[in-house]
A and B are shown apart, each in its own frame.
With several copies, the nearest count.
Chain A
Amino acid sequence: MNLGATWAKAWIRNSADVMSEHRIELIDLDREIGDGDHGENMDRGFQAVLAKLDAVPAEAGPGDVLKMVATTLISTVGGAAGPLYGTAFLKAAIAIADKTDLDGAALVTLLTAARDGIVLRGKAESGDKTMVDAWTPAVDAAGAAQAAGADDLAILRAAADAAEAGALATEPLVAHKGRASYLGERAIGHRDPGAQSSALLLRAAADTAAEA
């Protein structure tokens, strides 16, 4: 398995499909505790990314792909998710800018940089019921897997599993950031839409690696 620009493009292509498929699900989660646009926002952004994917030059590295994703999400998603995901991909792109193929350490670097970007922009802490609650467990799980000598696919799977568990674990929480924070106790029992879309993205990363 070889995680380079080809994998990155395939991941993003798969992510675009996944966002389309889960558009309504994400809208519905956001209707419950937000304003009902998250699925539409993610779908709009990833469709725009998809349209630009073929234009990424053949000699580009995975960092170039992620940078295009970042700028496109920033300029097409809007809302809270646009800048947050945009920053995540931008920081990830910078962190792996010099790589052509990503080994386990680079994957952990990528995920960590992405998560740090989200925290930098959004100032959310773990447990605030945001996408951070998917990303931080994912980063931790990926780091642990890599330290334990897991291969790339296993690292990504660990990240995706942890992100899904993290998204699920937002359900009992009260939100402290984003729109759901207006709801107080009434947010309890609902999953955070951004955490869910984050888990979908990371699952797509692992699935793409498995196909490779």
Chain B
Amino acid sequence: MKKLVNDPKNVVNEAVAGFGAAHADLVRVSTDPIFIVRKDAPVAGKVGIVSGGGSGHEPMHGGFVGPGMLDAAVPGAVFTSPTPDPILAATKAVDGGAGVLHIVKNYTGDVLNFETAADLAAADGVEVRSVLVNDDVAVKDSLYTAGRRGVAGTVLVEKIAGAAADRGDDLESVALVAERVIGQVRSMGVALTPCVVPHAGQPSFTLAEDEIEIGIGIHGEPGRERIKLEPADAIVDRLLGPILDDIPFVAGDKVLLFVNGMGGTPQVELYIVFRRAAEVLAERGIEVTRTLVGNFTTSLEMQGMSITVLKLDDELTTLWDAPVQTAALRWGR
């Protein structure tokens, strides 16, 4: 394992300290417990938005803290949901009196820890609502699984909920918008190489020199199936099929097309993927009206990508376009 780290146990501490130093214009960082809040938190009268989860998916979530998006991000250990303490502390730190929304990705650990924190916050008089992101169509949403995972679609939920809070929506309304996005966003990913969790020091899985993993999660969890490497266009088709069939997306829909890098894939490849994905959507009569390309929901140095499609309407489009000022996503100010 070759990594730019000191003691593997300090990866999150040191990275968060570095993040705070690099973005002192946007955020403040708490070191014990560890969380990141926007500099001017709490914003009086505004719904606070908190997200979090294991580290290793950067820029998610710390990179999304700032006006127009998250009020706080709570990074756990690498690939490990944070404990309730920092979630609770972050929740209190961003409560401006209008309540706090928790945006939680659907993993057992995230659900349980956020649940505990929400209970504790409620006991301390902070109103909390939670939404559960579960956009990954690679996983069957059945009684016999932990349900679909939350992956890159989370970025879109956070941006749009953030904009709703920013324009002054109340907690219930912000939660409803977030849930509307969750209902209309679907994703699926592929891995070409595994990632190495610093404390593990070994790849999370192994793939032969000609194998790829279709339906990969963002924690190096194995995916749906392992197949031989194919041309980029064929891989895109494999991911888009299940995504588009799921809601389904149909001719006439306007969508946001998001190609997300898993961390180790060069940008040229992401744009080759985007090109084909846009082509497929055009063939199906689905109109791409907004786009996002880049490393937003990563899995350390994993090579691969995911495709996310969000069905847009006028309101969601307006909220997507609204100003945002964070380390990783910024426009309009």
Residue A67 at the chain B interface, CB threshold 8 Å = no
Task: Specify which of A35, A76, A177, A182 is in contact with B83 (CB 8 Å cutoff).
Answer: A76
Nearest chain-B residue to A186 (Cβ)? B222
Task: Specify which of A40, A74, A121, A181 is in contact with B144 (CB 8 Å cutoff).
Answer: A181
Give the distance to chain B from A51, nearest Cβ to Cβ, in Å: 14
Residue A83 at the chain B interface, CB threshold 8 Å = yes
- CA of A148 to CA of B151 in the docked complex: distance in angstroms? 51
Task: Specify which of A27, A34, A75, A79 is in contact with B84 (CB 8 Å cutoff).
Answer: A75
Give the distance to chain A from B90, nearest Cβ to Cβ, in Å: 14
Residue B19 at the chain A interface, CB threshold 8 Å = no
- CA of A184 to CA of B217 in the docked complex: distance in angstroms? 14
Instruction: State which size class the interface on B falls in.
Output: 35 or more
Contacting A at CB under 8 A, from B88-110, are 107-109
A83-98: CB near B (< 8 Å → 1, else 0) gives 1100000000000000
B111-135: CB near A (< 8 Å → 1, else 0) gives 0110110000000000000000000
- CA of A183 to CA of B213 in the docked complex: distance in angstroms? 12
- Please name all residues of chain A whose beta carbon is closer than 8 Å to the beta carbon of B219 when the two chains form the complex: 34-36, 179
Task: Specify which of A27, A36, A76, A79 is in contact with B109 (CB 8 Å cutoff).
Answer: A79
Residue A4 at the chain B interface, CB threshold 8 Å = no
Instruction: State which size class the interface on A falls in.
Output: 20 to 34
- CA of A10 to CA of B199 in the docked complex: distance in angstroms? 27
Nearest chain-A residue to B223 (Cβ)? A182
- CA of A27 to CA of B192 in the docked complex: distance in angstroms? 22
Q: A178-B146, A182-B146 are known contacts. Are A35 and B79 too (CB-CB below 8 A)?
A: yes
- CA of A186 to CA of B222 in the docked complex: distance in angstroms? 9
User: Are A78 and B113 touching (Cβ within 8 A)?
Assistant: yes
| Residue among B107, B112, B140 with most chain A CB within 10 A | B112
- Please name all residues of chain A whose beta carbon is closer than 8 Å to the beta carbon of B217 when the two chains form the complex: 35, 179, 182
User: Are A179 and B200 touching (Cβ within 8 A)?
Assistant: no
Task: Specify which of B115, B116, B146, B199 is in contact with A179 (CB 8 Å cutoff).
Answer: B146
User: Are A83 and B139 touching (Cβ within 8 A)?
Assistant: no
Residue A41 at the chain B interface, CB threshold 8 Å = yes
- Please name all residues of chain B whose beta carbon is closer than 8 Å to the beta carbon of A36 when the two chains form the complex: 79, 197, 200, 202, 204, 219-220
| Residue among B78, B116, B138, B140 with most chain A CB within 10 A | B116
Nearest chain-B residue to A23 (Cβ)? B199
| Residue among B76, B80, B143, B197 with most chain A CB within 10 A | B80
B70-82: CB near A (< 8 Å → 1, else 0) gives 0000001111111
B204-223: CB near A (< 8 Å → 1, else 0) gives 11000000000001011111
- Please name all residues of chain A whose beta carbon is closer than 8 Å to the beta carbon of B77 when the two chains form the complex: 37, 40-41, 44, 78
User: Are B145 and A83 touching (Cβ within 8 A)?
Assistant: no
- CA of A56 to CA of B168 in the docked complex: distance in angstroms? 48
Residue B149 at the chain A interface, CB threshold 8 Å = yes
User: Are A82 and B109 touching (Cβ within 8 A)?
Assistant: yes
User: Are B146 and A78 touching (Cβ within 8 A)?
Assistant: no
Task: Specify which of B82, B84, B199, B223 is in contact with A37 (CB 8 Å cutoff).
Answer: B199
Give the distance to chain B from A37, nearest Cβ to Cβ, in Å: 5
Q: A75-B83, A82-B113, A178-B146 are known contacts. Are A40 and B222 too (CB-CB below 8 A)?
A: no
Task: Specify which of B81, B200, B220 is in contact with A40 (CB 8 Å cutoff).
Answer: B200
Contacting B at CB under 8 A, from A135-168, are none
- CA of A37 to CA of B197 in the docked complex: distance in angstroms? 8
| Residue among A31, A41, A76, A176 with most chain B CB within 10 A | A31
- CA of A33 to CA of B217 in the docked complex: distance in angstroms? 12
- Please name all residues of chain A whose beta carbon is closer than 8 Å to the beta carbon of B179 when the two chains form the complex: none
Give the distance to chain A from B293, nearest Cβ to Cβ, in Å: 26
Give the distance to chain B from A73, nearest Cβ to Cβ, in Å: 9
- CA of A125 to CA of B160 in the docked complex: distance in angstroms? 37
Residue B253 at the chain A interface, CB threshold 8 Å = no
B238-269: CB near A (< 8 Å → 1, else 0) gives 00000000000000000000000000000000
User: Are B146 and A177 touching (Cβ within 8 A)?
Assistant: yes
- Please name all residues of chain A whose beta carbon is closer than 8 Å to the beta carbon of B81 when the two chains form the complex: 78-80, 82
- CA of A122 to CA of B108 in the docked complex: distance in angstroms? 8
A–B pairs, 21, beta carbons within 8 Å: A31-B200, A35-B221, A36-B219, A37-B200, A41-B77, A44-B77, A74-B84, A74-B116, A75-B84, A78-B54, A78-B76, A79-B80, A82-B109, A83-B112, A83-B115, A122-B108, A122-B112, A179-B108, A181-B145, A182-B146, A184-B140
Question: What are the nearest 9 A-B pairs in CB distance?
Answer: A35-B219, A83-B112, A79-B109, A80-B109, A80-B108, A181-B145, A79-B80, A40-B199, A78-B80
Using A37-B79, A80-B81 as known contacts, list a sample of 10 further A-B pairs with CB atoms less than 8 Å apart, ordered by residue number in A.
A35-B217, A35-B221, A40-B77, A79-B54, A82-B113, A83-B84, A83-B113, A178-B146, A182-B146, A182-B223
Chain B residues packing against A (C-beta within 8 Å): 54, 76-85, 107-109, 112-113, 115-116, 138-140, 143-146, 149, 197, 199-200, 202, 204-205, 217, 219-223
